[in-house]
Structure 1
Amino acid sequence: MTVMTRVSLASAEPAIALGALDGRYRSAVSGLVDHLSEAALNRNRIHVEVEWFIHLCQEQVLPGLPVLAQQQCAGLRDIVETFGSEEIAELAAIEAETVHDVKAVEYFIARRLDALSLGNLAPLVHFACTSEDINNLAYAVGIRDAVSSVWEPAARQTLHSLTTLAEDAAATPMLSRTHGQPATPTTLGKEIAVFVHRLNRQLDRIGKQEFLGKINGATGTYAAHLAAAPDVDWPSVAKSFVEHLGLTFNPLTTQIESHDYQAELYADIARFNRILHGLCVDIWSYISIGFFRQIPVAGATGSSTMPHKVNPIRFENAEANLEISNALLDSLGSTLVESRWQRDLTDSSGQRNIGTALGHSVLALNNVTKGLKQLDVAEETIAADLDSNWEVLGEAIQTVMRAEAVAGVDGMENPYERLKELTRGRRVDAEKLKDFVAGLGLSAAAEERLKNLTPSGYTGLAATLAQQYGAA
């Protein structure tokens, strides 16, 4: 697959935008315009048609087909590479007459063949193809490139910022809260590393995604192909062409490529979004209890009336955009896999929203990355919170008592119940816990371990786990 330098489509901004992605947030998502806009779809259609034309000549599927000169191949591909504002307008004018987008692409290409001394081969453009032969490949190329060139780099940038936070706070002791209540201490870095690990798994799945394509005719039977050239191994020609585009060949379809790979991809991206949404909620909550300080941005206003406020708007904005993205991704994933008999047109309208779905995810990623860079760990607040909850050591004490009982130490009966009576529903300070431990009759080694134990020291392997699994 040859990589070309193409005219960027992103500069064609609408004067007044209906949607937020093409208006207020365009700068954050403009990278998707070159892959999933209507203009990009048409450019990818031209790309597929041109490559199919070249492929048919190279394979010599019909008598009398010439072997294209290198200059002619370059000239055909130049139709794609130079596709810009003037060509967009020309194609739109053709479509206004044809009232058919793919037919307009065919005529657009045919107009340019005389200049390449290929005018006699105009019938070869769109040869044996139905519109969906072109559309499914054009969409697959656009979706693949949008994910690999725009969405995935944005996701990795967010993960990089998150990894930095996990590493920096790997050993920062923090009170856990299960069910919102004080629980066994952890470290801040370990809790962030959990998200890094989860998001990395989803990125790995997305990176292995296949992008399928087909070019087998009106109902997937190669009927027109065989009618024109019955001696050609058309499935092999089709397979080599689809793979030439950098896609995975789907050998058995109706008129449409079944879109199952799209549903798989959107489910994985939606799951990534949901995990990221959970992170935003947790970070927002940590900010609200003072575990994070937000670094003020010079000149920025938090509230129009309360000067002291620095609102966590980056994470709130991300939550909203992740929810919108997932609503679209879930809808696409559930509807695209269905088609009435051999073909209906619902997928055509649905797929035009792929860019919007990914755009809201990219916008969320952009906000999370910026938000993470504006956080400062409030270690003194975290430490004070932890130091006021010595009762969380009740778990350690009753577990040590169990071990002592197994070892044959007397007086270790009912360890859980005794710690429950001491700690449940009340705050217990260090002195009271140490007095309790001193009166248990533990072995000298066990008593020494518990006497030296503090909430900040009761984090187990949290720091090690954070460093081991918190790398992007």
Structure 2
Amino acid sequence: MGSLADITPPIALGALDGRYRGAVAPLVDHLSEAALNRQRLHVEIEWLIHLTTRGVVPGAGSLDEAEQQRLRGLVGAFDADAIAELAAIEAETVHDVKAIEYFLKRRLGDTLDDRGDLSELVHFACTSEDINNLSYALMVRGAVEQVWLPRATGLVDQVSQMARQLHDIPLLAHTHGQPATPTTMGKELAVLAHRLRRQLRRVEGAEYLGKLNGATGTYGAHLAAVPGADWQTISREFVTGLGLTWNPLTTQIESHDWQAELYADLARFNRVLHNLCTDVWTYISMGYFAQVRGQGTVGSSTMPHKVNPIRFENAEANLEVANALLDVLASTLVTSRLQRDLTDSSMQRNIGTALGHSVLALDNVCRGLAGLDAVPEAMAADLEGNWEVLAEPVQSAMRALAAAGVAGMDNPYERLKELTRGRRITGEDLREFVRGLGLPADVEERLAAMTPQSYVGLAPELVGHLGQPSSDQEATT
């Protein structure tokens, strides 16, 4: 038997680069090894431009506007040939960032008509982590803001839209798995949308930190080379010019605390989304939602009647994998031995995998929700079969009357418990009980007219707390 490892093009080892490639492909532009090297090239070029345009190094040459644009064009032209060339250089250097330095030095001659005078300003006074931390911050920000957040926001909008559409559809609640005070399907979905939206705001407010201060964060090499320069200001302006928040106090590495904070927020969003998946899965199993079979799909290989809730099950699994990785990233990246160790280098290469499983889950939940139709008749049938849930409003009304001094309203909880505990009652049973309580006429009329379907309190109105749609797509649906 031949080895699958010998087949070309190479067969993907992981599901994200194989079976699910289509759903997560946009992350490749941000969190792949090639994307990391492209960002490193971007940072190195911007640092060279920053140094030369500000005349930081006395006597060094400068780059005119056209030369700056040609250099920046190298980032947009970072293609398969550039990746292969860089790999060949790294095979010699056995150092990824040094390979970027040599790659750029070659381009100074090819791109800028042999500006060899600037060659030694490439990677000037930098440690590898000056380049890496900025590159990762830009990569993660791009992946979150351009890929993850739009998909997560679209999903929350989708749940919010469903909540509004189903705001007044009565639903038998279940607390501890037992029939409980009715609500509406819209209100229950609104709770989940509200929770998810709150986590989105935290992710949207994430702060992406960066540093450029040398081998141990002291600007030692910078001062040794050019003691007269204001290196802290030069560093701050460079980092903020990249759109990042400057971190003035670090060891050799930027401390990664911002990453831990972000990954904790992403994981919390995922956990709420996991809760949505399990709830919707349960509503499907209860018949409250019908799945719209896509043309040609097969629910079961042996049972023709089945349409399995696979989108929500797939999402659950991927959310669990994503959170396992996000949790270990958050807990590991905040620790580095003394001024530097390499655990973060290996760990950060898993960021793409973590976000990939989260994006895959978002895709599955969106597709799953789009394939659902509410079944109000099934919800109504369960409500009709559980008139005992009206024991709560009857005994609550009796309590209020007792507090107001109305006679005969004693022991309301116990009397309703005797009527309903451990057995089903009908609407007629309840109405007969209510009419025998001696209630004031208006209260008796109100309670006798109540049904499980009407006992939803303010649930329909509570959906209004979701506010207005947050996207044009939802607003026009």
Per the shorter chain, which TM-score range? over 0.9
Q: 2:70 aligns with which of 64, 75, 80?
A: 75
The Cα shift of 1:161 comes to 1.6
What pairs with 1:376-391 in structure 2 (closer than 5 Å)?
376-391=373-388
- DSSP 3-state at the match of 2:293: coil
Matched, 1:450 2:451: no
Structure 2 residue aligned with 1:10: none
Structure 1 residue aligned with 2:112: 116
What pairs with 1:350-365 in structure 2 (closer than 5 Å)?
350-365=347-362
Question: After the TM superposition, which of the residue ranges 13-22 and 443-452 deviates more from structure 2?
Answer: 13-22
Q: 1:21 aligns with which of 10, 13, 16?
A: 16
Q: 1:370 aligns with which of 367, 380, 383?
A: 367
Structure 2 residue aligned with 1:202: 199
Question: After the TM superposition, which of the residue ranges 157-166 and 41-50 deviates more from structure 2?
Answer: 157-166
Q: Which amino acid aligns with 2:85?
A: E
Once the two structures are superposed, residues 375-409 of structure 1 have per-residue CA deviations (whole angstroms, 9 ceiling, x without a partner) of: 00011111000111010000000000011112221
Matched, 1:144 2:141: yes
2:388–2:424: 8 Å Cα contact kept in structure 1? yes
- DSSP 3-state at the match of 2:453: helix
What pairs with 1:55-454 in structure 2 (closer than 5 Å)?
55-114=50-109, 115-117=111-113, 118-454=115-451
The Cα shift of 1:14 comes to 5.9
Once the two structures are superposed, residues 105-155 of structure 1 have per-residue CA deviations (whole angstroms, 9 ceiling, x without a partner) of: 000000011231422110000000000000000000000000000001110
Point out where structure 2 has 5 or more consecutive residues left out of the alignment.
1-7, 471-477
Q: Which amino acid aligns with 2:152?
A: A
Point out where structure 1 has 5 or more consecutive residues left out of the alignment.
1-12
Q: In the aligned structure 1, how far is the partner of 2:420 from the partner of 2:230?
A: 78
Larger RCO (CA within 8 A; separation ≥ 6): 1
Q: In the aligned structure 2, how far is the partner of 1:182 from the partner of 1:63?
A: 79
Question: After the TM superposition, which of the residue ranges 420-429 and 95-104 deviates more from structure 2?
Answer: 420-429
1:404–1:443: 8 Å Cα contact kept in structure 2? no
Q: In the aligned structure 2, how far is the partner of 1:398 from the partner of 1:14?
A: 71
Q: Normalization by structure 2: what TM-score?
A: 0.95
Count of equivalent residues: 460
Q: In the aligned structure 2, how far is the partner of 1:15 from the partner of 1:463?
A: 54
- DSSP 3-state at the match of 1:183: strand
Once the two structures are superposed, residues 356-378 of structure 1 have per-residue CA deviations (whole angstroms, 9 ceiling, x without a partner) of: 00000000000000000000001
The Cα shift of 1:467 comes to 2.8
Q: Which amino acid aligns with 1:229?
A: V
1:14–1:22: 8 Å Cα contact kept in structure 2? no
Q: In the aligned structure 2, how far is the partner of 1:65 from the partner of 1:368?
A: 56
What pairs with 1:14-53 in structure 2 (closer than 5 Å)?
15-53=10-48
Q: In the aligned structure 2, how far is the partner of 1:469 from the partner of 1:460?
A: 18
Q: Which amino acid aligns with 1:79?
A: L
Q: In the aligned structure 1, how far is the partner of 2:43 from the partner of 2:454?
A: 62
Once the two structures are superposed, residues 309-346 of structure 1 have per-residue CA deviations (whole angstroms, 9 ceiling, x without a partner) of: 10000000000000000000000000000001000000
- DSSP 3-state at the match of 1:164: helix
Q: In the aligned structure 2, how far is the partner of 1:240 from the partner of 1:390?
A: 68
Q: In the aligned structure 2, how far is the partner of 1:53 from the partner of 1:286?
A: 59
Q: In the aligned structure 2, how far is the partner of 1:252 from the partner of 1:223?
A: 14
1:318–1:368: 8 Å Cα contact kept in structure 2? yes
The share of aligned pairs that are identical, in percent, is: 65
The Cα shift of 1:162 comes to 1.0
Q: In the aligned structure 2, how far is the partner of 1:280 from the partner of 1:135?
A: 37
1:219–1:342: 8 Å Cα contact kept in structure 2? yes
1:267–1:333: 8 Å Cα contact kept in structure 2? yes
Structure 1 residue aligned with 2:5: none
Q: Which amino acid aligns with 2:83?
A: I
Q: Which amino acid aligns with 1:66?
A: G
Structure 1 residue aligned with 2:3: none
1:158–1:365: 8 Å Cα contact kept in structure 2? yes
Q: In the aligned structure 2, how far is the partner of 1:152 from the partner of 1:23?
A: 23
Q: In the aligned structure 1, how far is the partner of 2:207 from the partner of 2:392?
A: 48
2:260–2:334: 8 Å Cα contact kept in structure 1? yes
Q: In the aligned structure 1, how far is the partner of 2:126 from the partner of 2:415?
A: 79
Q: In the aligned structure 2, how far is the partner of 1:284 from the partner of 1:372?
A: 10
Q: Which amino acid aligns with 1:460?
A: G
1:102–1:131: 8 Å Cα contact kept in structure 2? yes
Q: Which amino acid aligns with 1:147?
A: V
The Cα shift of 1:65 comes to 2.5
Q: In the aligned structure 1, how far is the partner of 2:194 from the partner of 2:311?
A: 22
Q: Normalization by structure 1: what TM-score?
A: 0.96
Q: Which amino acid aligns with 2:410?
A: E
2:61–2:118: 8 Å Cα contact kept in structure 1? no
Q: In the aligned structure 1, how far is the partner of 2:222 from the partner of 2:62?
A: 20
Q: In the aligned structure 2, how far is the partner of 1:441 from the partner of 1:234?
A: 86
Backbone CA RMSD of aligned residues: 1.1
Q: In the aligned structure 2, how far is the partner of 1:24 from the partner of 1:448?
A: 62
Q: In the aligned structure 1, how far is the partner of 2:420 from the partner of 2:148?
A: 49
Q: Which amino acid aligns with 2:132?
A: N
